Chain A
Amino acid sequence: MSDTVSIVIVSHSRDIARGTADMVRQMVGDEVKVAFCGGNADGGLGTDVPRILDAIGTVWSPKGVAVLVDLGGAETNSEMAVEMLPEERRGRVVVCNAPIVEGAVMAATEAAGGSPLDKVQAAAEELAAG
């Protein structure tokens, strides 16, 4: 199934990002494309805009991309990355206000059923609202 919303995970830690992506693949399956990025070029903590853009590009889906982030810079850099996307893609990428691990699993489960981007975002954010 290729017409599902994709997931991008952005953490300050590459290990957390990779581990979260592993959880999504193992728990939800491989019908939803998942990309992750985290850490800086020196192997330390950090996030950066070009890597986030790359991650979005590798899993791009016409149905859209839901981005799950951890703290501070991960969110602002993800928002900056969205702003730098070509205009026709910009409206189809959302940064979810949700805990990164739980939100990623919720979003991917919703996406696996073929749900549109707004429903995927709502599923991830349902936790924060509760």
Chain B
Amino acid sequence: MTKSRSVINDRVAPNPVNAEGVIKGSVQLIHAVGMHARPAVKLVKLAKRFQCQIAMRVAGRVDWVDAKSLTKVMATRAARDSIIEFEASGADASAAVAALVTLIAQDFPDGGH
């Protein structure tokens, strides 16, 4: 696992708000092997700490999946260097998107409870 690219890269773009109160963010997946089991577990555990609904997809695909479902997140099989998009709605949506984008940008660091 490469730890060298922990700098938040310039693809990180959590945009605040649109008219419907949906918070959006996107980030490049730099993890060496893509969205495999361990990164997916970390992402889902983090997503579950928020009350809001969080949808996720690989940029360019049609379907959004529930970022709180490990089965669905793993099933995206998102490849390295793909762009992951989030859309969240609910009281803590901004914090959720920011946290998830940071997790991926920092390449899924250990110990983020």
Q: Do A and B come from one complex?
A: yes
Q: Which residue of A lies closest to B38 (CB)?
A: A27
Verify A27–B37 contact, CB threshold 8 A: yes
| Chain A residues, Cβ within 8 Å of B45 | 28-29, 109, 112-113
Q: How far is the CA of A110 from the CA of B49 in the complex (A)?
A: 11
Residue B71, interface by CB 8 Å: yes
Query: A113–B69 Cα gap in the complex (Å)?
Result: 11
B41 interface contact, C-beta 8 A? yes
Complex interface: chain A residues within 8 A of B49 (CB):
113
Chain A's interface: helix, strand, loop or mixed, by majority? helix
Residues 75-119 of chain A: 1 if any B CB is under 8 Å from the residue's CB, otherwise 0? 000000000000000000000000000000110011011110000
> How many angstroms between the C-alpha atoms of A130 and B67 in the bound complex?
17
Q: What's the least CB distance linking A3 to chain B, in Å?
A: 14
Dominant secondary structure at the B interface? helix
Cβ–Cβ contact B38 & A113, under 8 A: no
For B, the interface residue count at a CB cutoff of 8 angstroms equals 13
Determine whether A65 belongs to the interface, using a CB cutoff of 8 Å to chain B. no
Please determine whether A105 and B69 come into contact, CB atoms closer than 8 angstroms. no
Contact A27 B41, beta carbon cutoff 8 Å: yes
* B71 in complex: contacting residue of A27, A112, A123, CB < 8 Å: A123
Q: A15 contacts the other chain (Cβ, under 8 Å)?
A: no
| A28 CA / B48 CA spacing, docked (Å) | 13
Query: A54 contacts which chain B residues (CB < 8 A)?
Result: none
Question: Which residues of B are at the interface with A, using a C-beta cutoff of 8 A?
Answer: 37-38, 41, 44-45, 48-49, 68-71, 75, 113
